[in-house]
Structure 1
């Protein structure tokens, strides 16, 4: 996977500023930054963005800026080049030419600066009314039966729940248990259950992992149960093969063997476990995750009506066809090379059984989604392809500067959102 950063919190950020150093003998310095207005979202479809150019030497500087506006699939919409003169020791705001988008969605604005014979490129993603994004369904005729049969397959597997208490420092807020259970394909999956020390019945958060992420105990609350659950090939759960960034395409030749079939069912098994607990308030169970975990949160909510609130950050696992129109992974090339009888349609047909947008109409509870406007791993348009098919109460948050990661502050705010929905007091 060229974009190996489905792993949460270690992901790249699309920079929007740089410094150009001229010839050494001049000691000249030029700093340039792209500045989208209105936090990068334009409800009237009128683009407003400028390059802020700072000349930190006394001599005037001549440069050219080539502005290119494309849609998120790379289709050119406008291309213009202009010369600029930046006076010495001054700051210049060079505005992108006027452009009004013809449709709603996400777009890329690229500025290529030519200075002293060298070219330097900056880009940023902007958007208009993402709630109007639509994407046609690629849904197999047997889609519903496929998932009905898989849920029956899981139900036929005896879970054999086991809990092992983990010794902790007395100052911790919760008692900790390592939990294990049987899922499909003979796989044992595990997680970390944190239960307040005071006996009672508590609201509960099921946390599901980003791709290759190992979820660990948090010791965050003394008035909530948190189950940090690791699906197969993650954390303390069993493996289906060697762990690496390319494991997601295992079984891609057949929807009945595809990697994510087992992972989706693992999440349902985690819910089965929580329902056995007398200390879990069955009417207040939230699910939360980011990246792969964000997709798993939405998909599990669609497949399991026992969830009452869903928090999905930068969700993956949606709108595969658009995804691979915008992005490219080397694993697809490797798969097609290893399976010469298969083609793109075959790949998309298998992936369509696992596309979250085909399930979103089943969600009946509130959903909160957050995305990064500069996310090139899970492009914002793909997230909204699923989100816009949800008919229950929902809200979204867009961070203008965020790529494919969730800040600690945002992660904490999502947990606080769960607490607010469950009408709980804030953590002291």
Structure 2
């Protein structure tokens, strides 16, 4: 992928002025209030430990917790064996089209001394279905257009709610220090981490947001040549040539630019300048709007959608340690 977006000098100051829906805050406050009420009526979270895992240095728990509408969401909780609790905890959201996978695929954070919650994505991961009772439009080319006729029934209302509920739920586990819960993700997972940084407020301590999807969605639909954004362009090209605004008015409720303006915790972003899936201007737009003063962006000049890969992880580990959010940092008291 060649460099087709703005030069880096322009990206660093790119801050498009886009208005959130007038009822954006009420929409999300009502959504989460309803989800929490449903969770109280649903079976409580369960954290059974897997007894037949071949792993010897980590305890693995096969989690279920109530998410959207009290529906059960799957996750893995990995806890370093023998570690002194409570631990700083990573809540990890997954990229588009993926789920929590196998627990053996997620060993880095526990190896570094963190508890690690890996959250399944409803309808994407095999362990969490998406039983939305309200049908979407007849044509659905992917998750971006599932429920595109209005925000109330859009797929990302449910997925973002699950993401917030995951961060809220893990704070109650005895292995977790509730004052050191960090949300993270790559691509779609980065967009979810950004949303949670706004919606969960100080219930999380920091956000690690890598090459985020769901940011400046309209520009993504105009520029991206791979990944989910072209689903929107294809939908509009085939079905709604004369009314694109109704589509983008729905997607505005899930756009990271509007969450970024409301974020209340420190954040480490990454952006890759040769990303064909999430154009760098979309990531910089979110970063430049991010409200908390303690923020940093790592730029991968020749990175594709993989961003900085393992090198970014090293940045994350050091960044957290520098803020007292590593395993050797001071424990919270809440």
User: 1:403 is matched with which residue: 304, 317, 327?
Assistant: 304
- Tell me by how many angstroms 1:317 deviates: 0.5
What secondary structure does 1:166 align onto? coil
C-alpha distance in 2, partners of 1:238/1:303? Answer: 22
Which blocks of at least 5 consecutive residues in structure 2 are unaligned? 133-139, 329-334
Partner of 1:181: 65
What secondary structure does 1:156 align onto? helix
C-alpha distance in 1, partners of 2:24/2:149? Answer: 17
Task: State TM-score, norm by structure 1.
Answer: 0.66
C-alpha distance in 1, partners of 2:324/2:215? Answer: 28
- Tell me by how many angstroms 1:375 deviates: 0.7
TM alignment of 1:72-91, pairs within 5 A: 72=5
Which blocks of at least 5 consecutive residues in structure 1 are unaligned? 1-13, 17-70, 73-105, 107-125
C-alpha distance in 1, partners of 2:210/2:221? Answer: 20
Number of paired residues?
306
C-alpha distance in 1, partners of 2:246/2:146? Answer: 14
User: Which digits, 9 at most, give the CA deviation of each residue in 1:118-140, with x for residues without a partner?
Assistant: xxxxxxxx421523111121311
User: Which digits, 9 at most, give the CA deviation of each residue in 1:169-209, with x for residues without a partner?
Assistant: 57622110010122224632111001222252111110110
C-alpha distance in 2, partners of 1:287/1:344? Answer: 33
What secondary structure does 2:26 align onto? helix
Higher relative contact order, structure no. (Cα contacts within 8 Å, ≥ 6 residues apart)? 2
User: 2:265 is matched with which residue: 354, 365, 369?
Assistant: 365
- Tell me by how many angstroms 1:230 deviates: 1.2
Query: Larger Rg: 1 or 2?
Result: 1
Partner of 2:284: 384
Partner of 2:158: 262
What secondary structure does 1:353 align onto? helix
- Tell me by how many angstroms 1:154 deviates: 0.8
Contact 1:190 1:236 in 2 (8 A): no
Greater fraction helix: 2
Partner of 1:246: 142
Partner of 1:320: 217
- The alignment's C-alpha RMSD in Å is 2.6
User: 1:205 is matched with which residue: 82, 90, 96?
Assistant: 90
C-alpha distance in 2, partners of 1:416/1:239? Answer: 36
CA gap of 1:179–1:299, structure 2 versus 1, over 3 A, is: same
Greater fraction strand: 1
